[in-house]
Amino acid sequence: MQRLIDAFINSVRAFRKLAAHEKAFQQELMLLALALPAGWFVSVSWRGYGLLIGAVLLLIMVEVLNTGIEAACDAFSREFNVDIQLAKDCGSLAVLISVVIVAGVWGIALIERVTGFPI
Q: Which residues are catalytic?
A: 63
71 labeled part of a ligand binding site: no
Q: Is 85 annotated as a binding residue?
A: no
The response to whether 22 counts as a known ligand-binding position is: yes
- Whether 72 has a binding-site annotation, put simply, is no
**How many C-beta atoms surround the C-beta of residue 4 within 10 A?**
8
Binding site residue list = 3, 22, 24-28, 63, 70, 88-89, 92
Annotated binding residues for a divalent metal cation, written as ranges, equal 22, 70
